[in-house]
Chain A
Amino acid sequence: MTTVDDRPAAPAGAPRRRPHPVLGLLRNSWRQLTSMRTALVLLFLLAVAAIPGSVLPQRGVNPEQVDRYFRDHPDLAPQLDRIGGFEVFGSVWFSAIYLLLFTSLVGCILPRMRDHLRALRSRPPVAPKRLERLPQHAVLEAPAATDPAAIAAVLRRRRWRVEVRGNEVSAEKGYLKETGNLLFHTSLVAVLLGVALGSWYGWHGNRLLVAGEEFCNTRQQYAEASLGPRVDSNDLPRFCLTLDDFDARFFPSGQPESYRATVTVDELTGSTRPAAFSVNSPLRLGSANVYLLGHGYAPILKYTDRYGRSQTSAVPFLTTGDANLTSEGVAAFPDANVDPATGKRDSTQQVAFEGLYLPTAPEAPPFVSSRFPTERNPAVVLVAYRGNLGLDAGIPGSIYQLDQRQVSNGKLRQIGDKKLGVGEKWTLDDGSTLEFLGTKPYITLSVRHDPGQTLMLGACVVLLAGLMASLFARRRRVWFRVVPADPGSGSPTSGSSLVRAGGLSRTEHPGFADEFAQLVAAVRGDGRTREGVE
């Protein structure tokens, strides 16, 4: 059986001078690291290491679920957290695996690149002595092309790379395989660089925007923002967005049909422009993209305190996750019941309303969940509280929830509950009133900039092209040797010559036998015309 060595023999062979033991160890470890077996083990480890990332909730994907996990497993969660269980893909061990893998990868492709460049410039190898030992071989008696140059011409026309040495023709084809393979592996590195670029120089911010509101792209205006280590808050591009309208359509079954946010963009160029975006078609500003993530309703509530002063708030109520947009939230009026005589805020007389908003309230109680996602019968179901809201304690609280500590320590008391339809008014025990005026839509959006994406996309295109070339191209070699038919007589180019042919595919190639047969037929036939079963 014939095996042809791919690379120039590894320089491991000759025992020249003994290397320094440390150097020897280093070299050995390097060789070990860049071997295919190591790559295989590391690939396997990478796959295994990714599994906890899907089993445990991840901070970057779903922080609320991580919090819930902490609540449900108070003993286990901190342990898992310590070893990076909730940030698997940024953990030391996951990073270690892929960095080792990519080191191995670079260590593997660099020498192969050098060898391949050499192979691209070198000439097809000398024919083996005994062509009949090759997997494909043939003897051509009295062929049309007996002259090595004519045989070479036949091969060249079929895009083989040909070398004529005396009475021998060597030809090789399919360098694309290795080229593709190297491109593929190199582009893996480029994809990783793209990821790194994005995490260093990228940024993003999320926030909620009620219709009619404007926000500008500064860090302070985001509820949650994350800037790459190479990005400063001052680097954020300047622009402002106003949400003019939001339109959500639903099928009669309640399933969403389409969403569309209409905004006014002010890129601080002196003029503003209208724009729209939706799921699957983000708003692409030159410097950042704006994505629509979610939507909901902000009930407009007008509270008139016992001194007759009114305040109106349109606080977004957050959806609870059900498909019919049952939402919950709190409208707080910390400045309520300020005595006009003294002008002093009385911290025992603050007011808040907590409860649900139902876009389509049921006809009869219980009023706990909405029946449809659009506003067919909008209603708020609220509990009123009076007392100290705890806003001055300096403990940052959520604007979507009451401070429960104030309720449990008795400083904030419940004073009644009620369901209000649009336009309905509720008179509380102290004569103050709450009126439900209607709602405004709100959206949640994400603004992002990822400078690594172009590189990643380009690398992915190369990756695919390289992968296909590598998998489907086939490296193969053929040789033709012109010999005198009668060993005793004359020159190889005389009429009575034999041509011996042999060929092998260096990679599995079930069609090679046919290709070889066609090639032989072409040489046997007429060297100058195109034939064979093509």
Chain B
Amino acid sequence: MAELSDQLVTFAILAYLVAMISHAVEYALGNTRAVPAAPARELVGAGVGAVGGVVKAPAAPVAAATPPGRSARQARLAGLAAVGLTVLAAALHLGALVTRGIAAERMPWGNMYEYVLTVTWIGTAAWLAVLVKRPSLRRLGLFLTLVMVLLLAFAELKLYVEVVPLMPALQSYWFIIHVSTIVVASGIFLLGVVPAVAFLMRNGYEQGRRSFPYTLARRLPAAAGLERLTFALHAFSFPLFTFAVIAGAIWAEAAWGRAWGWDPKETWAFISWVVYAGYLHARATPSVKRNVATWIAVLGFLTMLMNLFGVNFFFTGLHSYAGVE
């Protein structure tokens, strides 16, 4: 079972890679028609949020006027193929998780390798769910698959460990509650970074910047929609993350006798929580520009990464389950 799981991971990485190439082809062929016209009943203007740094209407209608030529059809085909490949990759990825869990006879969240494997799968699954609701965002898949390939390859090369049973400290139902919610919250925060970065690029582009990273955003969906998706994803996972941290504290009380001990991992969870709270505040404050708020969200994700990789590699603490020497 364990070998099967390893093979499935490899295949999943390949599938993500091909999906990424497919997205890139779509991007290069550049069917601008796929850029959604901002829905007429755009509501952003109604609330407090109107003052943010978002630029009004995208230039989509103009582009739509060009007749869809052959390359446009091909681009669309490439895009659809990319989505199909992403679905395939997600299925392989899930298979890898399930077989790993069967091999270990427990939930596959016992060490950093398994953790990264699960978080990335959640990210992909959430992405596909978003795609069902908002097909027009398809082009973001390029960034998503890129992130998946990078993270999974890193996990495979640097974090891989053999299947082992759980430490006594991890044998608790709080393990399942705490880790599952952390994993889901992290997966959605991970997905949230994709529209956040896309927004930052696209927003710069819409404001007339034509230097390097901004030009990449030429064929991205409109900034306002990306920004709203960023917020929706973060608003969804922030309470989940909060719950996970609280569950962790309850568990820590049972295992170590204190709910909160400022262990490095706890400290970084606190930092991430405060930064994401800062993001939600910044977004609710009219005088803070939307791109500044979005930067805070990206910063929040960097603190999550720091907690995952930095703390496990550089510091020693009670949470030393990474299984990496």
Contacts and interface: CB of A to CB of B under 8 A. Distances in A.
Interface string A61-76: 1000100000000000
A90 to B, nearest CB: 10
Given A251-B165, A471-B238, A508-B49, A39 B281 contact: yes
Interface in A437-451: 446, 448, 450
A37 B278 CA distance: 10
A408 interface: no
A510 B274 contact: no
B65 interface: no
A1 B51 CA distance: 11
Given A468-B239, A509-B43, A36 B267 contact: no
Contact of A43 (B49, B255, B257, B274): B274
A465 B35 CA distance: 38
Interface in B237-292: 238-239, 242-243, 246, 249-251, 253-259, 261-264, 267-268, 270-271, 274-275, 277-278, 280-282, 284-285, 287-288
Bin chain B's interface residue count.
Answer: 35 or more
Contact of A54 (B49, B239, B242, B311): B311
Interface stretch (A117-125, A279-287, A335-343, A525-533): A279-287
Interface stretch (B8-16, B120-128, B167-175, B203-211): B167-175
B168 A259 contact: yes
Contact of A505 (B47, B168, B263, B264): B47
B264 A43 contact: no
Contact of A135 (B45, B48, B246, B249): B45
A427 interface: no
Contacts of B277: 43
A279 B45 contact: no
Given A58-B262, A60-B261, A280 B285 contact: no
B46 A53 contact: no
Given A40-B288, A282-B257, A467-B239, A46 B274 contact: yes
Nearest to B274: A47
Interface string A256-281: 11110000000000000000001111
Nearest to A204: B257
A61 B246 contact: no
Interface string A501-515: 000111111101100
A255 B169 CA distance: 12
Interface of A is mostly: mixed
Interface in B68-103: none
Interface string B118-160: 0000000000000000000000000000000000000000000
B171 A37 contact: no
Given A468-B239, A471-B239, A510 B254 contact: no
B264 A54 contact: yes
Interface in B32-73: 41, 43-50
Bin chain A's interface residue count.
Answer: 35 or more
B254 A280 contact: yes
A508 B246 contact: no
Interface string A28-50: 00000000110110011011001
B25 interface: no
A2 interface: yes
B304 to A, nearest CB: 12
Interface string B1-34: 0000000000000000000000000000000000
B313 interface: no
Contacts of B259: 450, 453, 456
Contacts of B288: 37, 40
A70 to B, nearest CB: 17
A364 interface: no
A291 interface: yes
A38 to B, nearest CB: 11
17 contacts: A1-B45, A3-B48, A36-B287, A39-B281, A43-B274, A43-B278, A47-B275, A50-B274, A135-B45, A255-B165, A259-B168, A279-B169, A291-B257, A448-B258, A456-B259, A467-B239, A506-B46
Smallest CB-CB A-B distances: 10 pairs? A291-B257, A54-B267, A54-B264, A280-B172, A47-B274, A135-B46, A36-B285, A43-B278, A460-B246, A446-B257
